[in-house]
Amino acid sequence: MHILSNTPLQPFNTFGLAANSSGFCLLEDINTLREALPLAASANVLALGGGSNVLFCEDYEGLILKNALQGRTVRESDDAYHLHVMGGESWPELVDWTVAQGLGGLENLALIPGTAGAAPIQNIGAYGVELAERCEYVEFIDFDGGGLHRLSREECRFGYRDSIFKGELQGKVFITALGLRLEKQWQPVLDYAPLSELAYDGAEPHQISELVKSVRRAKLPDPSLLGNAGSFYKNPTITRTAFDALKEGYPDLPGFIQADEQVKVPAAWLIDKAGWKGKRLGGAGVHQHQALVLVNYGQATANDVLTLARQIRDDVEAKFGIRLVPEIRLIGASGEFSL
């Protein structure tokens, strides 16, 4: 085990913000992880995947454990393919690999940045599919006792961009592997535009994957070219009564009825209507093609991003009475940070 001190974090977060960590360890095998456990018990510990859903608001005063565990296996049952994927595997590469193998089920989640180990924390989702629908289990080692545990999909308490790993187990475990179940009787999910232009009869996983990729590339900036962490805010849900009242003043307000009769409203629409799309503040700004994405134009500081995010949140609340909640994780000196 090799612990690096005063490590620059800019290469390890897709926002590309300058920050340092007092301790940093690259974990490429389980043994190294077990060696790090005594330190994990006495320090502020942050398990880091691809850094695609975090904003380092300050230098981190603790130990960052970078998930670099590699490997994937497939076993077959009568009705499904069961994937065991190590936590450091690239999620986009995993999706591409399953599609190339002719395995359907993950194609709607193509090109989402990050690692397999980070995917269940956020319960990643796109175009009508969430990880929870494909997850069979999540394996992790707990920092306290060092035991290897497995939680079923139900035990993970998945919700909209949420899971037990963002709640009760946050900061207490390191996700080592993810189990996925891909049905042999694959059915395409084409309910969300622009996938609805495809016909259910004849659609193939590779067609859906390529369409998702083309749409994402057209709408979302490449983090390697323009620093960002994807969607900054969650899409809020409001009551049907509140939605109907807003609809009277804004007839073009989109809304998606949920199972509990709440209505999910696109945060991007709210931000755009509040006048923020394409605007800059310091080195940070709102992307010109997707108002839900805040970007680093090259020299942004964490304060630039946070100030911009606060002003957007406050303006949306003043205009629509809806308070936006960050989707990305805000990391302070010793752990979670709030706007």
pLDDT in tens, 204-263: 999 999 999 999 998 899 998 999 999 999 999 999 999 999 999 999 999 999 888 899
Q: Which of 22, 134, 231, 329 is catalytic?
A: 231
Nearest to 288 by CA among 265, 272, 299: 272
Whether residue 139 is contained in a domain is answered as: yes
Measured over the CA atoms of residue 315, residue 320, residue 321 and residue 325, the dihedral's sign is: negative
Do 257 and 158 have their domain in common?
A: no
Do 188 and 153 have their domain in common?
A: yes
Do 230 and 275 have their domain in common?
A: yes
Do 246 and 310 have their domain in common?
A: yes
Do 281 and 316 have their domain in common?
A: yes
pLDDT in tens, 22-68: 999 999 999 998 888 888 777 789 999 999 999 999 999 999 999 99
Q: Which of 89, 107, 130, 327 is catalytic?
A: 327
Do 273 and 312 have their domain in common?
A: yes
**What is the span of the domain harbouring residue 259?**
222-331
- For residue 46, the domain's CATH number is 3.30.43.10
For position 202, what pLDDT does the model report? Answer: 80
Q: Which of 134, 161, 313, 329 is catalytic?
A: 161
Query: What counts of helices (H) and strands (E) characterise the chain?
Result: 7, 20
Domain count, the chain: 3
- For residue 204, the domain's CATH number is 3.30.465.10
Is 327 in the active site? yes
Domain end: 67, 90, 109, which one? Answer: 67
Whether residue 1 is contained in a domain is answered as: no
3-state secondary structure string across 232-250 = CECCCEECHHHHHHHHHHC
Whether residue 256 is contained in a domain is answered as: yes
pLDDT band, very low/low/confident/very high, at 144 (cuts 50, 70, 90)? confident
Do 76 and 211 have their domain in common?
A: yes
Is 161 in the active site? yes
Whether residue 337 is contained in a domain is answered as: no
pTM of the shown model: 0.90
Do 261 and 180 have their domain in common?
A: no
Tokens representing 296? 């680093």
Is 181 in the active site? no
Do 163 and 255 have their domain in common?
A: no
What's the rounded Cα separation, in Å, for the pair 258 and 266?
A: 13
Do 94 and 209 have their domain in common?
A: yes
Place of tokens 């300058």: 18
The residue type of 338 is S
Tokens representing 97? 């690999």
